Structure 1
Amino acid sequence: MPENAIPENCARLGRLEPTGLGAKWLADAGITAAYVYEIPMTTQFRGITSRDGLILQGAAGLAEAAPFWNYPPDVALRWFEGAFAVATKGLPAAPAPTPLNVTVPIVEPATAVRLVETSGCLTAKVKVADPRASLEEDVARLRAVRDALGASGKIRVDANAAWTNSEAREALPRLVEAAGGLEYAEQPCRKLADLAALQELGVAPIAADESIRLAASPERALREVMAAGLAAAVVKAMPLGGPTRVRNLISESLASSPADLPTGTGQNGKSAPPASNLQTPANNQRNPINNLQNPVSNQQNPANNLPNNTVNRLPPSAAENRGPLIVVSSALDSGVGLLAGMSLAASLQVEAACGLGTGRLMRGGILVEEPRIEDGQLLPPTKVELNLDLPAPSPEQVQRWRSRVEEIAKIFPMALGLNRKVCRPQRAGGVGD
């Protein structure tokens, strides 16, 4: 290979010059620059071999808008709304060191062992129910992960809504046995009613992801998840409208009256406050994107500014707060999107291992300094800066995103908020950690 040749397995980043309504839509939202990125995956992940999306820049810094291609415009819009908010108003808390689970995709047992042993994580999230693998292969992968983690490690499985209720009832006992116990099984079925039935049956602790993220009303979905007594709720910052929006959704859900929602009281036994009672980051903290020297030490955490009777912390155990375990996860984000997830976890003071270690599944990154994994934690960079020296994506890829922005702008010329009916992606759940 010539000395100046561009290696095939590397991240790509290039400027997007929007046109027509797309240009006006972004400008009206306060976006001053947009970039297209593309990062090859180290292994195929839910059918994805390369991750691509947009990075938007505004007065407060960088934000990611990377809805998967099977998401229709009204679902993708939430991602853009979140990116607009982060780019123009900042993050709800400074990204801080975040405990991780290691994500194990559909790989051979030996590869699963290597992923776990090199991660430094005490919790593993294992993908199952993929069309490329049989139940027996899932069982073998889980046994290998348990051997690598040891008896004290925690294992989660994620089926991405692939099973029917009867299929889940058949598969989950096998997986629980192979894993030597599960922390939870994430979204085994598409319907929330099926998740509640499985939780009631006691086959395994059940968590919801797509039931929240793809719901017509995420607010209502979160309340229903809590009322159903599910073991965990998995939330992803950008697909749900950005970290501040998700923090507020959770706070509002926990603030529901006991008559309507018997779960989710705060640390002090009182209901958590509505989002309107939380001090806003604009008034109480500096934007971590602008604190390039040290975003952690140079910024106050808004949770520390809350009155004594205001709870913004979600305890790590559902048994402690009679609400679900809250887990912040990635949607195969770039480093920019991972910072939003870290901010969400910090703003909620979530102690459960988070699914934000998906950078290990990508060949490179788009930041000069990426969030890095060390001893099972994701650590924020000391500064946030795009690596503009990367090679550009193909003209076809740039045009594809230009057309998508134009398409969404034509349908939603103004911000519509998040309380609206949405179309489901062609495949349940899309892709994510």
Structure 2
Amino acid sequence: MLPDLADLLSEAHVVALPMRVRFRGITVREAMVLRGPAGWTEFSPFVEYDDGESAAWLRAALDFGWTTHEPAAESVPVNATVPAVPPDEVAPLLARYPGCTTAKVKVAEPGTTLDDDVARVAEVRRVMGPDAAVRVDANGLWSEDQAARALERLAPFGLQYAEQPCRTVPELAALRARLSGLGVAIAADESVRKASDPLAVARAGAADVLVVKAQPLGGITAARAIVAEAGLPCVVSSALDTSVGLGMGAFLAAAAMSPGYAAGLGTAAMFTADVTASPLLPVGGQVPVRRADVSAELLQRHAASPERTAWWRARLERVHALLATA
């Protein structure tokens, strides 16, 4: 059942958390955390998302905050995340992910070149050594031809997979067939979490791996159903969440993720602040499967401005109204 809007707003807090480096075009992540009967939960669709797309994020918040989910493991392995930084910044970034043996490297960033990407991936491989798993993520910014050229240059570094190299499902399917002898697996992210039909990519044979995120897919319960029906290996990743949202992802990863893969849930290391005194930071290459214990003092210290708080509260009201009429 949909909780009353007044109940949601009474325990809703908006925070603005500064990041160590620019990622996904932002240096401050805004998020709303709410407290439900099962514990703290998060509603944090990116600011550019419309209300219709944000509805799944609110369903996820309600699923986690108003449903008891039992942890299927004590912890899950996670990857390090390397934004589009110069090679000399790679080693200090990786040091924030102690024990991690997998790295996801951003490529195709606007304003950078393929040579920049190759240099960044080469440095990650050098620092982490030959046995580490290295992934690249293009966020759908390459065309099929650009992706083919890029992955031919990046393949010698031993990629575990390339995440969303192209935007559309047909492009992914064509690229996967085109690169069948190269040994680079294709993972789908945006083609799952932003699609009206998240299973279309699996039916089209356009990916080897699904990257799933709890909030964009409507929560733990909904995401587990998608993974089960898709029948492909699954990697659970974050949506640049606070530790509250990372906890939601960790519960999903413990229940649904495929063995042999690290989850993309170590992103608390990208922030200089959080909503809890015990953030879900990687330790020994793992993050714990638990709910965050939110600090009232940190909520106050990192509160968004009154104007941004009003914007988020109005957004919650609109999206709640959409769910009420669905």
TM-score (norm 2): 0.91
Aligned length: 317
Question: Mean Cα displacement is larger for which, 209-218 or 106-115?
Answer: 106-115
Please give the secondary structure, in 2, of the residue aligned with 1:401: helix
2:245 matched residue in structure 1: 337
2:212 matched residue in structure 1: 235
CA deviation map 1:106-134 (0-9, x unaligned): 11112112222452211110000001311
Alignment equivalent of 1:387, drawn from 295, 305, 315: 295
Q: Is the contact made by 1:31 and 1:84 (CA closer than 8 Å) also made in structure 2?
A: no
1:90 partner amino acid: T
CA distance change for structure 1 residues 118 and 85 in 2, over 3 Å: closer, same or farther?
Answer: closer
Q: Which has the larger radius of gyration?
A: 1
Q: Is the contact made by 1:92 and 1:344 (CA closer than 8 Å) also made in structure 2?
A: no
1:345-424 superposed matches below 5 A = 345-348=253-256, 350-351=258-259, 352-380=261-289, 384-390=292-298, 391=301, 392-410=303-321, 412=322, 414=324, 416=326
2:125 matched residue in structure 1: 146
Q: Alpha-carbon deviation of 1:86?
A: 1.2
2:66 matched residue in structure 1: 88
CA distance change for structure 1 residues 413 and 333 in 2, over 3 Å: closer, same or farther?
Answer: closer
1:414 partner amino acid: A
Q: Hey, what's the Cα distance between the residues in 2 that align with 1:47 and 1:229?
A: 27
Q: Hey, what's the Cα distance between the residues in 2 that align with 1:242 and 1:43?
A: 28
Q: Which has the higher helix share?
A: 2
Q: Is the contact made by 1:100 and 1:121 (CA closer than 8 Å) also made in structure 2?
A: yes
Please give the secondary structure, in 1, of the residue aligned with 2:115: helix
1:130 matched residue in structure 2: 109
Please give the secondary structure, in 2, of the residue aligned with 1:239: coil
Runs of 4 or more above 6 Å deviation: none
2:100 matched residue in structure 1: 121
> Unaligned 5+ residue runs, structure 1?
1-22, 254-263, 265-323, 417-433
> Unaligned 5+ residue runs, structure 2?
none
1:200 matched residue in structure 2: 177
Q: Is the contact made by 2:30 and 2:304 (CA closer than 8 Å) also made in structure 1?
A: no
Q: Alpha-carbon deviation of 1:46?
A: 1.6
Please give the secondary structure, in 2, of the residue aligned with 1:79: helix
CA deviation map 1:330-370 (0-9, x unaligned): 00010000001110011125331110011111011101322
Q: Hey, what's the Cα distance between the residues in 2 that align with 1:46 and 1:338?
A: 17
Query: What percentage of residue pairs aligned between the two structures are identical?
Result: 39
1:107 matched residue in structure 2: 85
Q: Is the contact made by 2:243 and 2:292 (CA closer than 8 Å) also made in structure 1?
A: no
Q: Hey, what's the Cα distance between the residues in 2 that align with 1:345 and 1:226?
A: 23
TM-score (norm 1): 0.69
CA distance change for structure 1 residues 328 and 251 in 2, over 3 Å: closer, same or farther?
Answer: same
Q: Considering only aligned residues, what root-mean-square deviation do their CA atoms show, in Å?
A: 2.1
1:48 partner amino acid: I
1:282 matched residue in structure 2: none
CA deviation map 1:68-105 (0-9, x unaligned): 01111110110001111111113353563110110000
Please give the secondary structure, in 1, of the residue aligned with 2:211: strand
